[in-house]
Chain A
Amino acid sequence: MNVRGFCGSILVLCGIASLGCNAPGKPTAGAEAVRPDEVKNFSKLYSQNCAGCHGADGQHGAALALANPVYQAIVDEGTLRNVIVNGEPGTLMPAFAQSAGGMLTDDQVNALVSGMRSRWYHADAVQGLDVPPFKTDKQGDAAHGQQVFTSHCASCHTTGVQQQNAKASSITDGSYLALISDQSLRAIIIAGRPDIGHPDWRSAQPGHPMSDQDVTDVVAWMASQRQKTPGQPYPSQP
């Protein structure tokens, strides 16, 4: 090795270090770990608490896509906050707030809600469209719901015994229905899952968007398919 060159490079390094400019090792402001309950950064909170089920960027996850603009358009902030705080009954969504046994403070829940809204809520997503409301008090008509299913859903989904692939997969499987609430079914039917190619309320059957009543009835019909003892491993055997 060229000794003079080596010493020279050390001198240069020391020179840079003494200037302190752009040293890769220099701690950035706030580099020290803050208390976990003082983390207010949305990206950090989301990637620690939500990404597991809802996907890295609010999509392509196992559970509902939070980055879906239609979903963000029909849900309000109060509902989002309530679901994070208390969980969603009838589903696997757990409660995250300290008040309900979770690890997040109220401020952190607010940071999550406002972060989601600022990133994924677009005011014009459903502007001028007749979109069914997120919640409804109407009673559904299961018989009509089955007709709506046949016209809007049956091109992809089947009923009865569960199939393995997405095309022609059953949505009346007892285990599936036991793990999802009516409200979640309604949310998926209206908002769809654009990230995985599931249409929303208007494009399931092109030219014939589903009405509020249609959605309510399909959900009512699916709810009527729930089993008393779902999830038995050998349903077909005695």
Chain B
Amino acid sequence: MSRIKRLYNWFEMRLQLEGPVKDAALHPVPRNTASWWYVFGSAATTLLMLQIVTGILLGLVYVASGSEAWKTLDELNHQLYLGWFLRAMHGWGSNFMVAVVLVHMAQVFTFGAYKFPRELTWILGVFMLLMTLGMAFTGQVLRFDQDAYWGLGIGASIMSRVPVIGGALVDLLLGGPIIGGATLSRFFALHVFVIPGTLLLFTAVHIWMVLKLGINDWPMPGRVVRRNTYLQEYHELSHKDGVPFVPDALWKDLFFSAAILAAVAVCAFVFGPYGPGGQPDPTIIQTAPKPDFFFLWLYAVLSYLPPSLETPFVLIAPVIGICILLALPLVAGEGEKSWHRRPVAILVLVTVAVSWGIFTHLATFTPWSPIMDAWSGDPVPPKLIHDASPLVRQGAVVFQAKQCRNCHAVGGSGGMRGPALDTVAVRLTEDQLIRQVLQGGGNMPAYGKNLSPPEVTALVRFLETLKPDGQPPAIDATHQEQKAQNAAPQQ
């Protein structure tokens, strides 16, 4: 017997792991579960491992202090060999992990895999999703830049709206009533010890249950889940038409995990690390902070909500949402798994996904928010004023100097809070333009008190030139009628 074999036996006699590992590796799974649809869970686990490894390496350098954090990130980016790549891997790993976890969840939901006997696996998974989002949020805070600072401020102000205990919650979260020295330490502890520790424990139990209960069989229309027959049916399925988990199912998991890691590396290599953005100084007011992509939808939803609905929404909607997710397997633990027979479930999923996508997309360019430096930074398109009269030219200056551009785009640049004005002369007559400028209306404030009559006149002259070539301007039908009447008696 070789030395290695002897050493192995020495450990095996004491640990006795060979049996359980062999059982786990070779246990039969239904042949059709060895599918490319079943690879997201293992990919999420792989990404978690990547995050732990890169996180530990970052932890060697990072200093969780308000005055040092930004500097250490700067040092990682510029002074440490491949420090930037490490930060980029961790940042992109986080993005991929959130995305893969969401895809995994959508797949499990679509395949009805949360039904008996895998209810607890799903419930644990919901908590793991929340923890993943918690990791993403606390990680964004540790990047202590302007986005982190204001994101934290928004998180804290959401907390503060909880009735009765709001103030205490904020103190608990921030280590005081405001963002201060203790805040970053708390988030460091959360991000590095509390959440990942719990997440790892939950992951272990989650995987344990997957091994013990078996991988969900491929849903077939008509193969209905019943509590008293399912286990027997699954056993038959996996033993009669089963394949050993290793290697028949595992190789796809391994391949996909490797591909995901490669994708993270490519993104990190090409797009680089996130920030850090500007320094987290509340005296800098020229900033438009934004959350990272997984919270963009929330940013958009909160921006569109009327103020009176904000508090009810932020306090009640998440609770209801989480309760629905937790209750799902308990309420719908039996029945059809196939998406062919679950139209409501699929419609709900599609609606949620499309809404999420739309809100996320909107939040990338924040059409509800004026662009505060468009007036001084976005030039008037030269072709609009190249042949303009002196008064129209002054009107364009009024348009910029009075900051109309911050809300109204011209030539594709400027704010999107109000309508783009490239064709406004086709829509509004001179009188309507003057009225709109003076009195406002819709979402627009009245500018009558802020503009002098010459400014309004020049501005409206400029706006009247904003129409596509070949299109007639808007006309006032009553003016035409009056002209016709005035002209008639002379004939």
Tell me the A residues contacting B by CB distance below 8 Å.
10, 13-14, 16-18, 20, 23-27, 29, 31-36, 47-53, 55-56, 60-63, 92-94, 103, 157, 162-166, 169-171, 173-176, 178-180, 196, 229-233
B473 → chain A closest CB, angstroms:
11
Say which residue of B82, B272, B385 sits within 8 Å of A62 (CB atoms): B385
Complex: A49 Cα to B434 Cα, angstroms: 28
Report B-chain residues with C-beta under 8 Å of the C-beta of A16: 269
Q: A29-B78, A33-B146 are in contact. List 9 more A-B contacts (CB 8 A).
A: A24-B269, A27-B273, A61-B380, A62-B399, A63-B397, A92-B398, A166-B389, A178-B452, A179-B394
Report A-chain residues with C-beta under 8 Å of the C-beta of B85: 17, 20, 23, 25-26
A52 near B378: Cβ-Cβ < 8 Å: yes
B400 near A175: Cβ-Cβ < 8 Å: no
Report A-chain residues with C-beta under 8 Å of the C-beta of B265: 10, 13-14, 17
Given contacts A26-B272, A166-B388, contact A62 B81 (CB under 8 A): no
A62 near B262: Cβ-Cβ < 8 Å: no
A162 near B461: Cβ-Cβ < 8 Å: yes
Report B-chain residues with C-beta under 8 Å of the C-beta of A229: 453
Q: Does B275 contact A (CB under 8 A)?
A: yes
Complex: A49 Cα to B373 Cα, angstroms: 8
Complex: A61 Cα to B394 Cα, angstroms: 11
A47 near B377: Cβ-Cβ < 8 Å: yes
Name the residue on A nearest B380 (C-beta): A62
Q: How many residues of B contact A (CB 8 A)?
A: 68
B269 near A25: Cβ-Cβ < 8 Å: yes
A25 near B273: Cβ-Cβ < 8 Å: yes
B88 near A25: Cβ-Cβ < 8 Å: yes
- 8 closest Cβ pairs, A-B complex: A25-B272, A231-B453, A169-B389, A231-B454, A62-B396, A178-B454, A60-B382, A175-B454
B278 near A53: Cβ-Cβ < 8 Å: no
**Can you report 7 A-B residue pairs in the complex whose CB atoms are below 8 A from each other?**
A13-B262, A27-B77, A31-B77, A33-B277, A175-B394, A179-B397, A180-B394
Complex: A94 Cα to B457 Cα, angstroms: 20
A68 → chain B closest CB, angstroms:
15
Q: Does B375 contact A (CB under 8 A)?
A: yes
Given contacts A35-B278, A51-B378, A179-B397, contact A23 B387 (CB under 8 A): no
Within 8 A of A (CB), among B63-101: 74, 77-78, 81-82, 84-85, 88
Report B-chain residues with C-beta under 8 Å of the C-beta of A164: 389, 392, 465
Complex: A14 Cα to B261 Cα, angstroms: 11
Report B-chain residues with C-beta under 8 Å of the C-beta of A13: 262, 265-266, 269
A175 near B284: Cβ-Cβ < 8 Å: no
Name the residue on B nearest A49 (C-beta): B376
Name the residue on B nearest A64 (C-beta): B397
Say which residue of A36, A60, A173, A231 sits within 8 Å of B455 (CB atoms): A231
Complex: A36 Cα to B372 Cα, angstroms: 14
A179 near B458: Cβ-Cβ < 8 Å: yes
Say which residue of B268, B379, B452 sits within 8 Å of A51 (CB atoms): B379
Q: Does B199 contact A (CB under 8 A)?
A: no
A111 → chain B closest CB, angstroms:
16
Say which residue of A20, A53, A60 sits within 8 Å of B397 (CB atoms): A53
Given contacts A24-B272, A62-B380, contact A171 B262 (CB under 8 A): no
Complex: A92 Cα to B276 Cα, angstroms: 38
Name the residue on A nearest B464 (C-beta): A164
Report A-chain residues with C-beta under 8 Å of the C-beta of B405: 52
Q: Does B225 contact A (CB under 8 A)?
A: no
Report A-chain residues with C-beta under 8 Å of the C-beta of B376: 48-53
Report A-chain residues with C-beta under 8 Å of the C-beta of B347: none
Q: Does B391 contact A (CB under 8 A)?
A: yes
Report B-chain residues with C-beta under 8 Å of the C-beta of A26: 84-85, 272
A71 → chain B closest CB, angstroms:
16
B407 → chain A closest CB, angstroms:
14
B378 near A92: Cβ-Cβ < 8 Å: no
Complex: A166 Cα to B431 Cα, angstroms: 23
A29 → chain B closest CB, angstroms:
7
B 380-422 to A, binary, CB cutoff 8 A, 1 in contact else 0:
1010011111111110111111100100000000000000000
Within 8 A of A (CB), among B332-382: 373-380, 382
A233 near B269: Cβ-Cβ < 8 Å: no
Report A-chain residues with C-beta under 8 Å of the C-beta of B81: 20
Give the interface centre of A52, A164, A173 by most chain B CB atoms within 10 Å: A52
B458 near A176: Cβ-Cβ < 8 Å: yes
Report A-chain residues with C-beta under 8 Å of the C-beta of B277: 32-33
Complex: A158 Cα to B320 Cα, angstroms: 70
Report A-chain residues with C-beta under 8 Å of the C-beta of B399: 62
A94 near B401: Cβ-Cβ < 8 Å: yes
Name the residue on A nearest B279 (C-beta): A35
A175 near B458: Cβ-Cβ < 8 Å: yes
A174 near B390: Cβ-Cβ < 8 Å: no
Give the interface centre of A103, A175, A230 by most chain B CB atoms within 10 Å: A175
Say which residue of A32, A49, A162 sits within 8 Å of B74 (CB atoms): A32
Complex: A15 Cα to B428 Cα, angstroms: 61
Say which residue of B84, B377, B400, B460 sits within 8 Å of A48 (CB atoms): B377
Say which residue of A56, A162, A231 sits within 8 Å of B379 (CB atoms): A56
Give the interface centre of A103, A169, A171, A179 by most chain B CB atoms within 10 Å: A179
Given contacts A179-B397, A196-B386, contact A51 B453 (CB under 8 A): no
Complex: A169 Cα to B387 Cα, angstroms: 10
Name the residue on A nearest B81 (C-beta): A20
A196 → chain B closest CB, angstroms:
6
